[in-house]
Amino acid sequence: MIDPSALPALHASHGGIWHREGDHTQGIAKGQAISRAAETPTLILNAPLTGQRLGYPDLNGLDLLELWAFVYPAHFLVPTPKGLAEALDLPAIASEADIPALLQMATARLLDRIGSPTWKEREGAWTAAQALHRLRWPWAPLVARRIAQPKEAERWLFSKLPEWEETPPRPAARVIALEEDQVLGRLAHLTGMDAEPRPGQQAYAAAAISAFRPRAHRDQPNMLLAEAGTGIGKTLGYLAPASLWAAQAQGTVWVSTYTKALQRQLDRESPRLFPDPVMAAKRVVVRKGRENYLCLLNLEDALQGGFSGRAAILAQLVARWAAFTKDGDMIGGDLPGWLPILFRRNGSTALTDRRGECIYAGCPHYRKCFIERSVRASAEADIVIANHALVMINAARGRETGQQPQRIVFDEGHHLFDAADSTFSVAMSGQETIELRRWIMGPESGSRGRRRGLAARLSDLASYDEAGGEAIRMAADAARALPADEWLKRIVAGEPFGPVEALLSAVRGTVYTRAGDNGETDAGYGLETELAEPDGALVEAAQEAALALDALLRPLTRLAKRLEAVIEDAPDWLDGSARARVEGAIASLDWRCDLVSAWLALLARIGGPVDADFVDWLAVDRIEGREFDIGIHRHWLDPTRPLAETVLKPAQGVVVTSATLKGGGDWDNAERRCGAAHLPRGADRFEASSPFDYAARSEVLIVTDIKRGDIAGLSGAYARLIEAAGGGTLGLFTAIRRLRAVHARIADRLARAGLPLYAQHVDPMDTGTLVDIFRDDPRASLLGTDALRDGVDVPGHSLRLVVMEGVPWSKPTVLHAARKLAEGGSAYDDRLIRARLAQAFGRLIRRAGDKGSFVILSAAMPSRLLSAFPPGTPIRRLTLDEAIIAVSVGGQYSDGLGGGMRLGDQGIIHDPPAPERE
């Protein structure tokens, strides 16, 4: 048996490359490292990241993250040497040169665990190891020998997963009234009787009671807008009345978030509500869209030969995880976010239902389906943790499913406008239309996979019902008018096939013609133009495409009616399983019919009258000059109108809460951004300021000597600031290209100083993993874009400096221009920017003991925007050298922040010249 200490180990970072063989470690060059890794199986940690550091993305070896995924499926791990050492209780490393030896020790520890009689994840391991050996998994020879063959054949994954049980519909919630003393008592229980009372949290919980009282007016929920500053404790503040109401009324409260990070945080609070883990799993349920969960039928197909190469290895490791997962959530659940990245995402998306092709009760794993279990669990739960988009979709379709949310708490409520904007929009593009074709027709041209068309999914209906079978055939014939494989190549070549491809070709021609007038054609990024004054060719193409879509809509509508008739007539073959499958098909058809109807309404706009409620535009989507989609887009000018109609008015009670709910404006702005302005009686309001001492714990520094567009100067500023702070820096960018340019210039320099630097859009890791790494290492820094400006909770010393490259001006899109015109011009822009600044500043101080600096590298920071920061926050304009001194380790606040200004001071900072916007 191979001794792990005999295996060579390799570590590469921006600071250098170290290779260990036997007991000797040495620094080597990139070429040597690549050569040695290719010659001999080598221990590495995170092959994609190591390969990127070496400039060799195809690097392979014995990746310890893959071994961890086999030994400890569904267990959290920060995928760094430090995280690995802590997880395995190994000695901390003193320098990067010690990492190869650590990898050897970690390998021995993991392999020893496999041989331990107390290994909890042993079930199914022998069978998985044999399958992985046949797939030539690099670890298989080391793993398989350590697992004794069980005396009896191990149960197949699909036979040991628990089945969900069908339950009768839950009765409507009882009508009750919560008393304030009950709610405050519940709050005291959740926070702990020994916890120091927080008046702001108590006032918040008392105010939230109003949303759980019986509704008094039709089309008017009991609605509360609550802005609670960081540190108030709003999570437990609304969970106290929510959980008490759910228990007494026997109803469900939906708690909705915008980010997965807050979903995970809320899930971690469930032991406070229900200390018994079994009870907690029943009473608190995380609910996401179908595309987030593992599809067992897709997994079975992958395990039985549907995948090959590295994708097949990923499928085996996912199957190991599936046997131990809490809920089957592959995106943000207990599947390590770094696992799919190790396989270059090869196959991971095919393991979920992203095409809406679920066959429901026709699936052999229907009774064990993670998605169906989540749906049924949420119907019986006290608290359902979901996201804004899912809540809106469920509200819109809830009358059919019986799960229309009635009591809702929208946390991160400042994102309600954006979520509604996305949910209620329409896009008719090449990508969207080809997906519809595939859903109807199934595989074409001998393509492989489990994709099945309507005819295959509803074969029993076609054989039973002649009219239904004819509708399926007509739909398939009509779908041939939609774009097919390689549609984009044909359009670029000027050879579109079919009426919809011809329309997309006309859209592309219009966009390039008009964008060229603005000098944007050669910029390499997406292009768009307003859908106004279309030429004759575009109008004619739209009319032909509309005829083709209408020919498709008619058989789809007819098929849906035939399915409804089958449910009513109930033939002999329609048992419970078949009924569920037909009902699922009806829901899917209704969704597609609504989509095609929306496309027809969009096409009617081309050459027709303008609808003042909508903003329409044409777009060519590109990444670094490469086109990937073409389409026509429609958004509501005010998306909170459909939000109010479909979500708010049918609800009994709604709480919308955030630390920045007013979004850089006043309460009227908050009401407009969350839909309350469209309710007959508006909403109640509550406000509690943060208890943190921002004047003593933070400062805002505006650096005035970094020239706009000077990448070298910007890079030098970032490097010097991170060095001065000793890491712990979150760098925020408004453009990916500048982020990449800065990272490329400073990563090596910081690594030599012992300051690791990570970056979105550069490092091959998902955002959640990058934040986990950043949180775990106080000397690490992280560069990112909008996704890191909000929803990132990194308390303590790990985050002590936030640096923004400049003022986060809005991108001048067609949609933004229309809303700016309708909402008061520059005042609309200012509100958006103040909200973004407030959200970014909110990353800095998360706990009472935190302190740090917020730096803006732009002299063009107007003083009118400084009200985004908490009152009393010291603000200074200064040079980069002075900022370096201010943020230096041990030097923060040494001057008492004197000489600056605080919000409310007069005459200190004057507006600079108006900035040049991108």
Span 163-187, pLDDT tens digits: 988 788 888 999 999 999 999 999 9
More confident of the two residues 882 and 900:
882
Residue percentage of the chain with pLDDT more than 90? 68
Model confidence at 399: pLDDT above 50: no
Model confidence at 681: pLDDT above 80: yes
> Mean per-residue pLDDT for 322-348?
87
Reading phi first (left if > 0) and then psi (alpha if -120 to 50, else beta), residue 233 is in: left
* Whole-number pLDDT of residue 899: 38
* Whole-number pLDDT of residue 908: 35
Number of helices (H) and strands (E), helices first, in the chain?
37, 24
DSSP state of 706: -
Model confidence at 891: pLDDT above 60: no
More confident of the two residues 791 and 335:
335
Cα distance between residue 853 and residue 405, in whole Å: 41
> Mean per-residue pLDDT for 19-47?
93
Range from 101-105, 349-353, 629-633 carrying the lowest mean pLDDT: 349-353
Nearest CA among 417, 382, 901, 332 for reference residue 640:
417
The helix (run of H) or strand (run of E) holding residue 631 is: strand 626-636
Collapsing DSSP states into helix, strand and coil, what is residue 233?
coil
| Residues 407 and 253 sit within 8 Å (Cβ to Cβ) | yes
Question: For residue 792, what pLDDT band results from cuts at 50, 70 and 90?
Answer: confident
Write the CA distances from 222 to 76, 436, 488, 647, integer angstroms.
40, 40, 50, 13
Q: What is the three-state SS of 8-21?
A: CEEEEECCEEEEEE
Residues 6+ apart with CB under 8 A from 853: 698, 699, 700, 701, 725, 800, 801, 802, 844, 883, 886, 887, 892
Nearest CA among 44, 49, 76, 131 for reference residue 321:
76
Q: What global pTM score does this model have?
A: 0.91
> Mean per-residue pLDDT for 506-525?
74
Collapsing DSSP states into helix, strand and coil, what is residue 811?
coil
Write the CA distances from 392 to 242, 388, 640, integer angstroms.
19, 6, 11
239-264 pLDDT, tens per residue?
999 999 999 999 999 999 998 888 98
Question: In angstroms, how far is CA 846 from the centroid of its own chain?
Answer: 22
More confident of the two residues 305 and 683:
683
| Residues 475 and 454 sit within 8 Å (Cβ to Cβ) | yes
Cα distance between residue 871 and residue 869, in whole Å: 6
- Amino acid type, 91: P
Collapsing DSSP states into helix, strand and coil, what is residue 287?
coil
Query: Tokens 């320099």 label which residue?
Result: 749
Residues in the chain: 918
Model confidence at 915: pLDDT above 80: no
Model confidence at 901: pLDDT above 70: no
* Whole-number pLDDT of residue 909: 39
Write the CA distances from 433 to 430, 545, 615, 632, integer angstroms.
5, 11, 21, 11
Please, what sign has the CA dihedral across residues 783, 786, 787, 790?
Answer: positive
Q: Tell me the angle at which helices 880-887 and 711-725 cross, rounded to the nearest 10 degrees.
A: 20
Cα distance between residue 229 and residue 48, in whole Å: 40
> Mean per-residue pLDDT for 598-616?
92
* Whole-number pLDDT of residue 574: 64
> Mean per-residue pLDDT for 409-422?
95
Collapsing DSSP states into helix, strand and coil, what is residue 495?
coil
> Mean per-residue pLDDT for 41-64?
93
More confident of the two residues 569 and 743:
743
Question: For residue 217, what pLDDT band results from cuts at 50, 70 and 90?
Answer: very high
Q: What is the three-state SS of 713-724?
A: HHHHHHHHHHHH
Write the CA distances from 644 to 224, 385, 676, 677, integer angstroms.
14, 21, 7, 9
Report angle CA 804, 807, 809 to the nearest 5 degrees: 130
Tokens of 555: 């058989």
* Whole-number pLDDT of residue 398: 59
Range from 49-58, 61-70, 123-132, 902-911 carrying the lowest mean pLDDT: 902-911
The upper half-sphere exposure of residue 237, i.e. CA atoms within 13 Å in the direction of its Cβ, equals: 31
Tokens of 655: 């709480």
More confident of the two residues 607 and 235:
235
Cα distance between residue 465 and residue 467, in whole Å: 6
Reading phi first (left if > 0) and then psi (alpha if -120 to 50, else beta), residue 258 is in: alpha
DSSP string, 65-98: HHHHHHHSTT-----SHHHHHHHTT-PPPSSGGG
Question: For residue 451, what pLDDT band results from cuts at 50, 70 and 90?
Answer: low
Write the CA distances from 213 to 72, 187, 188, integer angstroms.
46, 18, 21
Question: For residue 608, what pLDDT band results from cuts at 50, 70 and 90?
Answer: confident
Model confidence at 829: pLDDT above 70: yes
Nearest CA among 39, 83, 52, 7 for reference residue 775:
83
Query: b/e string for 669-702 if b means 16 or more Cβ within 10 A?
Result: bbbbbbbbbbbeeebebbbbebebebeebbbbbb
196-208 pLDDT, tens per residue?
788 999 999 999 9
Tokens of 356: 């809406």
